[in-house]
């Protein structure tokens, strides 16, 4: 604190911003999320110019600037870990209780990794290259967490 | 119209962990009043401050239109007031453009951020991501930077020991900077034994929660003598945004930093930063970013970050003599803190950490997870 600062009548007021929202996911995002929810299937979108399959999907290839919104392809529910961390702090925005593995997972058939949780392994056994598969949630939350987590394949 | 923009004055409060006893408006006033006194600048609509660039963030201020809360304090009624809601170094670049374009002679820059106001900095940065694919899985700048740390340490041969050295040096340098957060000196063992937050990032590898405010007065070349005898010139600026999804990016390539440097170096006529820049300040919010960013600006060879630390690279090139972001500056203002150190060094006012004969400084700022957006500003005496 600044030396000699007079803290007379310095009072802290508690506040909170907690405002529920509903966001339109876009047509591309909507189809991706509802397909996971209803068919337990993960889809990507392919750019026919550069042949890359994007997960999460998007309607324009940002390299080729092609409109790719209709080029849906199925990718596998399995993939490999390309990077990971062990989240060791608890917080309200986190989907799981610490410690747990958060990983970048390249699904078989996709070119871009997706970030998601990996469970069912010892924390010190997590490594790059390990094979994982999606475990779908028993009850829907209508979010990407309809994939509850990934587990060793 | 001259082709240079001067920083004529700067005032700051001390970086502190928790300025609970003062509103950010008060912190800003503590910066504005010394600037008015130092320069004699007025709010005259012909000759004085007609435009103000502010830097603040709605989430950290817990209000919409965070600059609205600053309007009275910075004197923005009946004149332009424009907000930067990312690293404030971009606000300085914008202020520079206002002057170089001929729209303004004199621009006031004011930035603030009280990270301590929010219960969780990680919850705040989670909101930087989209609500469809990224927020629900808990992505925040800490765990995303951990992906970058793992990939970069592997690529550049950077070890846990190297990172400990980076942290020890940061705290030692900060102890010589009277406006730095009093984070305290640490030993290598302290760092190596500090608990993991998000592997491989340890608690002491991460910049601590910090509150700060700062102001600068910028002016065109013709009128600089009205305000100061010791100006510092902005001679280069560049910025660039990398792709959004972390899975789309090479997290260790410094793509956006290299692009930002190309523009800033071209503008300032820098051929080789190793020989052409005397003072270098990098926004190392996390310890692994110091060597990685040094690669990005061309100070260390590609993938040579580990060797660069071993060979005393940071000290040799006068990197982060302020203590760096790692010692504690708030998000939003990391880059401005770097420019402040450049300004102080070039004016010869850095005391025990002064670089003799410093003529040119590089300040770097970044916004977003894993250095998605990067900004470089070149300052000269």
* DSSP codes joined into one string, B37-94: HHH-----TTTS--EEEEE--HHHHTSSSGGGGGHHHHT-TTSEEEEE-S-THHHHHH
pLDDT in tens, B204-232: 999 999 999 999 999 999 999 999 999 99
pLDDT in tens, B113-124: 999 999 999 999
pLDDT in tens, A90-120: 999 999 999 999 999 999 999 999 999 999 9
Instruction: With cut-offs at 50, 70 and 90, classify the pLDDT of residue B1.
Output: very low
In chain B, which among 47-66 make CB contacts under 8 A with chain A?
62
In a domain, B221, yes or no: yes
Instruction: With cut-offs at 50, 70 and 90, classify the pLDDT of residue A18.
Output: confident
Q: How many C-beta atoms lie closer than 10 Å to residue A91's C-beta?
A: 16
CA distance A83 to chain B (A): 6
Residue B132 touches chain A, beta carbons under 8 Å? yes
Pairing state between β B196-198 and B80-84? unpaired
Pairing state between β B51-55 and B232-241? unpaired
Q: Which chain B residues have a beta carbon less than 8 Å from that of A114?
A: 133, 247
Q: Do B20 and A12 touch (CB under 8 A)?
A: yes
pLDDT, chain B, mean: 97
Residue to mutate among B199, B200, B205, B252, with most A CBs inside 10 A, is B199
In a domain, B262, yes or no: no
Report pLDDT for B2. 59
Instruction: Give dist(CA B59, CA B66) in Å, integer.
Output: 9
Residue B139 touches chain A, beta carbons under 8 Å? yes
Q: Do A144 and B132 touch (CB under 8 A)?
A: yes
Report pLDDT for B352. 95
pLDDT in tens, B136-146: 999 999 999 99
pLDDT, chain A, mean: 96
Looking up tokens 């190297």 gives B162
Instruction: Give dist(CA B304, CA B64) in Å, integer.
Output: 44
In a domain, B41, yes or no: yes
Tell me if B184 sits within 8 A of B168, measured CB to CB: no
Which residues are CB-contacts of A67 (< 8 A; sequence separation ≥ 6)?
A: A59, A60
Phi, psi (degrees; rounded to nearest 5) at B238: -160, 150
Q: What CATH number should be reported for the domain holding residue B101?
A: 3.40.47.10
Count residue pairs from A and B with Cβ separation < 8 A. 111
Coil, strand, or helix at residue B332? coil
In a domain, B352, yes or no: no
CA distance B34 to chain A (A): 17
Pick from B16, B197, B251: CB nearest A89: B197
Residue A135 touches chain B, beta carbons under 8 Å? no
pLDDT in tens, B247-256: 999 999 999 9
Instruction: With cut-offs at 50, 70 and 90, classify the pLDDT of residue B111.
Output: very high
Average pLDDT of the segment spanning B169-178: 98
Residue to mutate among A85, A99, A130, with most B CBs inside 10 A, is A85
Report pLDDT for A2. 72
Instruction: Give dist(CA B36, CA B39) in Å, integer.
Output: 6
Report pLDDT for B207. 98
Pick from B137, B142, B146: CB nearest A117: B137
Q: Which chain A residues have a beta carbon less than 8 Å from that of B140?
A: 91, 93
Pick from A33, A91, A144: CB nearest B123: A91
pLDDT in tens, B285-316: 999 999 999 999 999 999 999 999 999 999 99
Residue A55 touches chain B, beta carbons under 8 Å? yes
Q: What is the ipTM of this complex?
A: 0.96
In a domain, B235, yes or no: no
% of chain B residues with pLDDT over 90: 97
Q: How many C-beta atoms lie closer than 10 Å to residue B315's C-beta?
A: 12
CA distance A43 to chain B (A): 13
Residue B153 touches chain A, beta carbons under 8 Å? no
pLDDT in tens, B315-369: 999 999 999 999 999 999 999 999 999 999 999 999 999 999 999 999 999 999 9
Q: Which chain B residues have a beta carbon less than 8 Å from that of A26?
A: 132
Does the pLDDT of residue B153 top 70, yes or no? Answer: yes
pLDDT in tens, B84-99: 999 999 999 999 999 9
Instruction: With cut-offs at 50, 70 and 90, classify the pLDDT of residue A5.
Output: confident
Does the pLDDT of residue A87 top 90, yes or no? Answer: yes
In a domain, B271, yes or no: no
CA distance A104 to chain B (A): 7
Instruction: Give dist(CA A86, CA A123) in Å, integer.
Output: 7
Pick from A84, A94, A113: CB nearest B138: A94
Looking up tokens 């010589």 gives B176
In a domain, B102, yes or no: yes
Residue B18, domain extent: 5-119+209-226
Residue B357 touches chain A, beta carbons under 8 Å? no
A126-132 contact pairs (CB < 8 A, 24+): A126/A81, A126/A84, A126/A86, A126/A101, A127/A81, A127/A84, A128/A81, A128/A82, A128/A83, A128/A84, A129/A80, A129/A81, A130/A80, A130/A81, A131/A78, A131/A79, A131/A80, A132/A78, A132/A79, A132/A80, A132/A81, A132/A103, A132/A105
Instruction: Give dist(CA B197, CA A90) in Å, integer.
Output: 10
Residue B133 touches chain A, beta carbons under 8 Å? yes
Q: Which chain A residues have a beta carbon less than 8 Å from that of B13?
A: 2
pLDDT in tens, A122-153: 999 999 999 999 999 999 999 999 999 999 99
Q: How many domains are there within chain B?
A: 1
pLDDT in tens, A26-51: 999 999 999 999 999 999 999 999 99
In a domain, B319, yes or no: no
Average pLDDT of the segment spanning A77-96: 98
Q: Is the peptide bond before A99 cis (omega within 30 degrees of 0)?
A: yes
Instruction: With cut-offs at 50, 70 and 90, classify the pLDDT of residue A3.
Output: confident
Average pLDDT of the segment spanning A44-66: 97
């Amino acid at each position: 604190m600044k030396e000699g600062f007079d803290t007379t009548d310095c009072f802290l007021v508690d506040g909170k911003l907690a405002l529920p929202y509903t966001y339109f996911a876009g047509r591309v995002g909507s189809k991706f999320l509802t397909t996971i929810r209803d068919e337990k299937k993960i889809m990507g979108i392919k750019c026919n110019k550069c042949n890359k399959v994007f997960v999460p999907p998007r309607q324009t290839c940002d390299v080729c600037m092609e409109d790719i919104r209709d080029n849906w392809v199925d990718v596998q529910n399995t993939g490999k870990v390309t990077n990971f961390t062990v989240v060791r702090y608890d917080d309200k925005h986190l989907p799981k209780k610490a410690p747990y593995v958060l990983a970048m997972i390249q699904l078989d058939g996709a070119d871009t990794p997706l970030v998601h949780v990996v469970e069912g392994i010892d924390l010190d056994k997590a490594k790059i290259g390990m094979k994982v598969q999606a475990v779908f949630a028993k009850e829907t939350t209508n979010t990407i967490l309809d994939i509850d987590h990934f587990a060793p394949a | 119209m001259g082709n240079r923009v001067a920083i004529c004055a700067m005032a700051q409060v001390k970086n502190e962990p928790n300025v609970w006893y003062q509103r950010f408006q008060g912190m800003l006033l503590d910066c504005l009043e010394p600037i008015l006194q130092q320069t004699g600048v007025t709010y005259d609509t012909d000759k004085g401050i007609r435009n103000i660039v502010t830097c603040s963030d709605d989430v950290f201020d817990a209000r919409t239109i965070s600059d609205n809360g600053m309007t009275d304090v910075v004197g923005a009624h009946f004149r332009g007031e424009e907000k930067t809601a990312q690293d404030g170094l971009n606000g300085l670049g914008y202020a520079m453009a206002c002057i170089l374009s001929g729209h303004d002679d004199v621009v006031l820059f004011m930035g603030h951020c009280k990270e301590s106001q929010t219960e969780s900095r990680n919850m705040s940065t989670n909101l930087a991501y989209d609500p469809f694919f990224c927020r629900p899985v808990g992505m925040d700048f800490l765990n995303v930077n951990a992906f970058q740390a793992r990939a970069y340490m592997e690529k550049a041969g950077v070890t846990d020991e190297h990172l400990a050295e980076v942290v020890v040096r940061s705290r030692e340098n900060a102890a010589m900077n009277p406006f730095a957060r009093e984070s305290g000196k640490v030993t290598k063992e302290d760092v190596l034994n500090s608990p993991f937050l998000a592997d491989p990032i340890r608690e002491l590898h991460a910049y601590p929660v910090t509150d700060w405010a700062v102001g600068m007065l910028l002016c065109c070349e013709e009128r600089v003598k009205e305000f100061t005898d010791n100006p510092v010139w902005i001679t280069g600026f560049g910025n660039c945004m990398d792709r959004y999804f972390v899975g789309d990016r090479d997290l260790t390539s410094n793509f956006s930093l290299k692009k930002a440097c190309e523009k800033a170096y071209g503008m300032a006529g820098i051929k080789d930063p190793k020989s052409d820049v005397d003072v270098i300040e990098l926004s190392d919010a996390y310890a692994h970013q110091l060597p990685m960013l040094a690669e990005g600006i061309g100070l260390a060879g590609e993938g040579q970050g580990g060797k660069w630390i071993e060979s005393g690279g940071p000290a040799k090139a006068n990197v982060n003599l302020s203590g760096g972001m790692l010692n504690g500056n708030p998000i939003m203002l990391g880059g401005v803190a770097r420019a402040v150190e450049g300004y102080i060094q070039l004016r010869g006012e850095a005391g025990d950490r002064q670089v003799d004969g410093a003529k040119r400084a590089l300040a770097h700022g970044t916004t977003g997870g894993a250095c998605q957006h990067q900004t470089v500003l070149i300052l000269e005496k």
